[in-house]
Amino acid sequence: MKLKIKKISFESGNIKNVIINSKDAHELGQKAGERVILKNPHSKTIEDKYWVSILQIDHSNSLVQPGEIGIFKDIFNDKKYLKENVILSIKPADPPDSFKYIQRKIKGGKLTTEEINSIISDAVSGSLSRIDLAAFITAVAINGMDNEEMTSLTLSEARSGEIFDFGPEVYDKHSTGGVPGNKVSLLIVPIVAAAGLTIPKSSTRAITSPSGTADSMEVLAPIAFSPEELKTIVSKEKACIIWGGALNTAPADNILIEIERPLHMDPIGLMIPSILTKKLSLGVKKLVLDIPVGEGTKFPTPDNGKQFAYLFKEIAKNVGLEVECALTLAHQPIGHAIGPGIEAKEALNLLKDYSAGPNSLIEKSTDLAGILLEMGGKAQKGKGQSLAKEILKSGKAYKKMQRIIEAQGGNPEISPEDIKLGPHIKEFYALKEGHITQVNNAIINQIAKAAGCPFSKSAGVEIFRKQGARIKEGELIFKVYSESQNKIKKAEKIFNATGGPIILGGMMIERI
């Protein structure tokens, strides 16, 4: 069948979809989600002349008419010699061999390195549909992957995109997540870089949490760079804090993550390769992995965290990374600020003035930075945290952060006072006297997201008293910021419905 190209002005995502009218689909004998092979007679290379896409069907006649094929904007950018109104040939395509390998994994079979390479290659080329990849993710969630499979998957995902080389000694820190207010990377990176180690920190934006490192750093400086710009920044400052989504690193991992999120799946067999792939892509050789342990995290107990740490270290060793893992407390937020702008404000305050605290942020940041300083030979074993605290107290970390901000195109003189929070504010006060026995992270996350986090940089929450503190009736314990009065009301509704995240001690367990 021959169809005329119509350019669709939005992107299809990482999976290379095309769309045809329902009448043409009926004539072609194809259903939505099936594969088709396209031929562009005007292309001058084999790669651009033939390619496989996943078929979508327009039943409403709103996007394409009979005789047209809709090509999305991202495919236009990817394929040369594509022009509107050019005639393409389209015909059904057989499933790739990788589809058979996914079916074997569904049945509990083990995949070879070659079979994993085939799945990853077809995921990037678009030969596997979202349904195929969802089946692969589900199969891994149910049946797991052994060490050999995870090692092969890590290397295959890393090879799917660009791999940077910032020298023989490159360091990084990563967290498995689950703790609100975990802005420690904004302190660890300048501390480690100020000591002379190379630490190109690539982070993701938040999806399910109130803020990611990239979201908070974006308050201070731009975070999206081309590979050439990244190389310039790191060669100049030995450090960066950027958003990895702008780089062509590990596209296969990005594709899988896009499908994992709506499935609410993050199986260990994919999580470990995902973390390690991102590090390999940036040339990292030594890594400290922060594993928050406790309710609401991926690892509810220390034993869960230990088991994961030993497995992670083994796979990391297989792919050439030296890793140390730190099990950390996750029972309440790190610091007092949750949300992109307010977290950047708190981190900048501490960088400028060590005495500003808060203590939980100081201790966790310098603990993890200290491990990297020891791994890099800057401090003897057991002395790394002391050196990290010294670098933080001296102002060297703040000066390094200023240079990183400037290298990334931000204002190095930005002060905490320059960071404006939402104009709409709601304060919450203690209704009785008592001591705080628990802080509920899940409720804090709900309130912060209702206020507009992470998409609104000025939204956030501030928690004034934490576990162990004695409070009086009428004392300020919690504050919410938002750019919208409606969102403030939503946050207040969650606070009132849940009783708030601050739980006071007493003899009564529950009122029924």
Q: What would the pLDDT profile of 278-293 be if each residue is shown by its tens digit?
A: 999 999 999 999 999 9
Q: Is 23 exposed, middle or buried (0-12, 13-18, 19+ CB in 10 A)?
A: middle
What's the CATH class of domain 97-144?
mainly alpha
464-481 mean pLDDT = 93
Could you tell me where the beta strands, DSSP code E, fall in 176-252? 199-203, 239-243
| Centroid of chain to Cα 198 | 21
Q: Rounded mean pLDDT of 66-84?
A: 85
Check residue 388 and give its pLDDT.
98
Distances (CA, A) of 275 to 50, 155, 269, 323, 328: 33, 12, 11, 12, 18
- pTM here is 0.88
Pairing relationship of beta strands 199-203 and 87-92 according to DSSP bridges: unpaired
Residue 355: what pLDDT?
96
- Is residue 131 within 8 Å of 263, Cβ to Cβ? no
96 touches 122 (CB < 8 A):
yes
Q: Given 2.40.40.20, 3.90.1170.40, 3.90.1150.10, 3.50.50.60, which CATH number is that of 2-92?
A: 2.40.40.20
Residues of the chain with CATH 3.40.1030.10: 171-246+278-407
Partners of 502 in the β-ladder: 439
**Helix, strand, coil percent content, the chain, rounded in steps of 5:** 45, 20, 35
- Does the active-site annotation cover 266? yes
Q: Residues 249, 124: contact at Cβ < 8 Å?
A: no
Q: Contact 220/414 with Cβ under 8 angstroms? A: yes
C-beta separation of 151 from 116 below 8 A: no
Given 165, 215, 266, 303, which residue is catalytic? 266
CA 96, CA 167: separation in Å to the nearest integer?
A: 38
Q: In CATH, what class is 171-246+278-407?
A: alpha beta
Question: In the chain, which residues fall in CATH 1.20.970.10?
Answer: 97-144
Among 203-207, 216-220, 224-228, 362-366, the range scoring the smallest mean pLDDT is 203-207
Rounded Cα distance, 413 and 404, in Å: 12
CATH 3.90.1170.30 domain span(s) along the chain? 424-504
Question: What was the pLDDT predicted at 15?
Answer: 66
Question: In the chain, how long is the greatest CA-to-CA distance?
Answer: 79
Which CATH number describes the domain made up of 424-504? Answer: 3.90.1170.30
Return the pLDDT at 178: 85
